[in-house]
Amino acid sequence: MLFKHFLFIALVTFLNQTISAQYVKNVKLEAELFKSTKKTFEFSLEKTEALSSIAIQIPEKASFATIFFVCNNDTFPFTPDEEFLPANGMQKSNLIVLETPVTKFSIYQSGTAFETNVILLSVPPFQNISIENEKKTIGGGCSEPADIIKQSVWRTGLPTPAYERIFTQVKHVIVHHTAGSNSATNYTDVIRNIYIYHTQSNGWSDIGYNYLIAQNGTIYAGRDPLNGAQDNVMGAHFSGKNTNTMGISLMGNYEPEKDKPIVSPPTIQLEALQKLATWKLAKENLNPDAWFSHPLNANLSTLSGHRDGGNTACPGTEVYKLLPTLRKNIKTDMETNCGFNFTGINEPIKNEVFELFPNPATSEFYINSIEVIKEVNIYNMLGLNIIHTINRSTNKLTISVENLPVGIYTIELIINNKRIIQKLSVVR
């Protein structure tokens, strides 16, 4: 592996002198490398080590908004990986998977220079691309979706995970997005890179999700259950509290980005999600409108987004806003095609007892409640209680967020002895 830079080649340090795992190498770039006028570090790899995907680690106080991946005359921003809490003062980016492996690329910083750990993946491409071009059979009803791509297919040529599986009774189907490319069409290669990233970079025993759904509606079996049930093997996807959950991740990034067109999930991808979730909820006799207590949310719906249990934007606003419609459609499917009758059964707590606005907030937000507000807690992404308000004599509050960094926060309201969870976005 070769590197070139005009001034600071001597400062390049390998975090591991050899490939740290079979398909992964970590390279540490000191801040001094970016203090030249170009602020760019160029990579040139051997053809046998062509880059298939890339991620970075940067200091917790640094911003992903000032560092970019440049390749084939195109520039890609890095975005924070909200599945990971900062560790050792460093935060991690989402994985950028390339349509075609490359040997020449660069990392560019536009602001104040900072140390950057670059995670380079070189994952062999999948050879049988025909499975991505086959017509998908989505359909309705309550049977398990057909044509799910098994691990033995998409994992061809990659290491098989070896660990003791844990299985769980599912009460919650949790929807995610991979926060990756919206233009990639090599879906199986994306899965392969995510698998290697999860196992050989993050150190997980397997891919985190039970299922992944490509933009063309292809459903991939995720975490390998070995001899158990795919839908009941416990994954690693819900902020460390995975018991009683099944994770489905939509491939793509569905959180609006500044100065970029809003991207919504394709209809066929949503149809596949509806089919898969309908089958699972019917199998477990779960009402799509019902809720159960969970360690991350006392009122967690049977069909929820990742942000319902963690300080994250996942599964992206463009997916999350569709979940109420998805619940309605699934309920109709289950009543029409599966013989369910949910009238009056386990109705969820309604949030009509209060309103929170504006959301997103810039400097302050307001809470109006029909009942007395006893307590308000605000938690940051690390789960730290950063604002605590007790007021037993009013049903209206104004809370300042001027001193809070931009991000996603969890608002905990105690109203008439009920605990209600709400997400709040702080923007500037």
- Residue 32 has a pLDDT of 86
Whole-structure pTM value? 0.75
Distant-in-sequence, close-in-space partners of 376: CB < 8 Å, separation ≥ 6 = 367, 387, 388, 389, 391, 397, 399, 411, 412, 413, 414
Whether residue 366 sits in one domain with residue 333? no
Residue 279 falls inside a structural domain: yes
Q: DSSP readout, 109-148?
A: E-SS---EEEEEE-PPPPS-THHHHSPP----SSSPPS-P
Residue 12 pLDDT more than 50? no
Considering the domain architecture, whether residues 360 and 326 belong to the same structural domain is answered as no
Give the whole-angstrom CA distance, residue 259 versus residue 269. 25
Q: Are residues 208 and 281 in the same domain?
A: yes
Maximal CA-CA distance, the chain:
71
Which of the pair, 181 or 347, is modelled with greater confidence? Answer: 181
**Cβ neighbours, 10 Å, residue 72:** 10
Q: Dihedrals φ, ψ of 330, to 5°?
A: -65, -40
Q: Point out the least confidently predicted range of 56-60, 103-107, 151-155, 180-184.
A: 180-184
Residue labelled with tokens 């299985």: 167
What mean pLDDT is predicted for residues 5-9?
32
pLDDT value, residue 77: 86
Same domain, 228 and 298: yes
Token pair for 210: 């039970």
Tokens, residue 47: 């053809």
pLDDT of residue 311: 80
Q: What's the pLDDT at 196?
A: 95
Mean pLDDT of 408-417: 77
Q: Are strands 211-213 and 245-250 parallel, antiparallel or unpaired?
A: parallel
pLDDT tier, 371 (very low <50, low <70, confident <90, very high otherwise): confident
pLDDT of residue 133: 54
Quote the pLDDT of residue 140: 56
Which span out of 5-9, 81-85, 242-246, 310-314 was modeled with the highest average pLDDT?
242-246
What is the mean pLDDT of the segment spanning 314-335?
Answer: 93
Q: How confident is the model at residue 105 (pLDDT cuts 50, 70, 90)?
A: very high
pLDDT of residue 6: 32
| 343 found inside a domain | no
Q: Is residue 346 part of a domain?
A: no
Angle between helices 267-283 and 323-337 (to 10 degrees): 50
**Rounded percentage of the chain residues whose pLDDT exceeds 70:** 86
Indicate the helix (H) or strand (E) that contains 275. Answer: helix 267-283
- Are both 117 and 134 inside the same structural domain? no
Please identify, among 288, 313, 337, the residue that sits at the C-terminal boundary of a domain: 337
Nearest to 50 by CA among 121, 113, 151, 127: 121
164 in a domain, yes or no?
A: yes
The predicted pLDDT at position 302 comes to: 93
How far is Cα 303 from Cα 344, in angstroms, rounded to an integer?
A: 18
Same domain, 195 and 305: yes
Task: Give the residue carrying structure tokens 């009056």.
Answer: 344
Backbone angles phi, psi at 178, to 5 degrees: -80, -15
Q: Which residue has the tokens 């939509």?
A: 250
**What CATH number is given to the structural domain containing 185?**
3.40.80.10
Question: For residue 99, what pLDDT is reported?
Answer: 87
CA distance 66 to 122: 25
Q: For residue 174, is pLDDT > 90? A: yes
Across residues 192-204, what is the average pLDDT? 92
Instruction: List phi, psi (to 5°) of 415.
Output: -130, 115
Percent of the chain with pLDDT strictly greater than 90: 47
Q: Which of 74, 101, 121 is the last residue of a domain?
A: 121
Query: Of 12 and 183, which is predicted with more confidence?
Result: 183
Pair (66, 164) in one structural domain: no
pLDDT of residue 86: 80
Domain shared by 114 and 138, yes or no: no
Structure token pair of residue 184: 């990639």
Residues 179 and 253 in one domain: yes
Strand order across the beta sheet in which 418-426 lies: 385-390, 373-379, 407-415, 418-426
pLDDT average, residue stretch 174-193: 90
Q: Are 238 and 246 in contact (CB under 8 A)?
A: no
- pLDDT above 70 (res 72): yes
Residue 335: is its pLDDT beyond 50? yes
In a domain, 242, yes or no: yes
Q: Looking at residue 50, which CATH number applies to its domain? A: 2.60.120
Specify the pLDDT at position 8.
32
Is residue 203 included in any domain, yes or no? yes
Q: Which of 195, 248, 149, 254 is nearest to 53 (CA)?
A: 195
Same domain, 363 and 395: yes
Q: Which two tokens stand for residue 90?
A: 């460093």
Q: What is the pLDDT of residues 110-137, one digit of tens each?
A: 888 999 999 999 999 998 756 655 545 5
Kindly tell me if the per-residue pLDDT of 138 is higher than 70.
no
What mean pLDDT do residues 27-38 have?
81
**Per-residue model confidence as pLDDT tens digits over 211-241:** 999 999 999 999 999 999 999 999 999 988 9
Distance CA 361, CA 337 (A): 42
3-class SS of residue 36: coil
Q: What pLDDT was estimated at residue 383?
A: 65
Is 243 part of any domain?
yes
Higher pLDDT: 175 or 293? It is 175
Average pLDDT of span 10-16: 34
Task: Look at residues 70, 102, 121 and tell me which one is the last residue of a structural domain.
Answer: 121
CA distance 171 to 145: 19
Claim to verify: residue 174 and residue 264 sit in the same structural domain: yes
Number of independent structural domains in the chain:
3
More confident residue, 263 or 38: 263
Decide if pLDDT at 3 tops 50: no
Domain boundaries, position 256 = 130-337
Residues 305 and 213 in one domain: yes
More confident residue, 249 or 385: 249
- For residue 345, being part of any structural domain is answered with no
Chain-wide mean pLDDT for the chain?
84
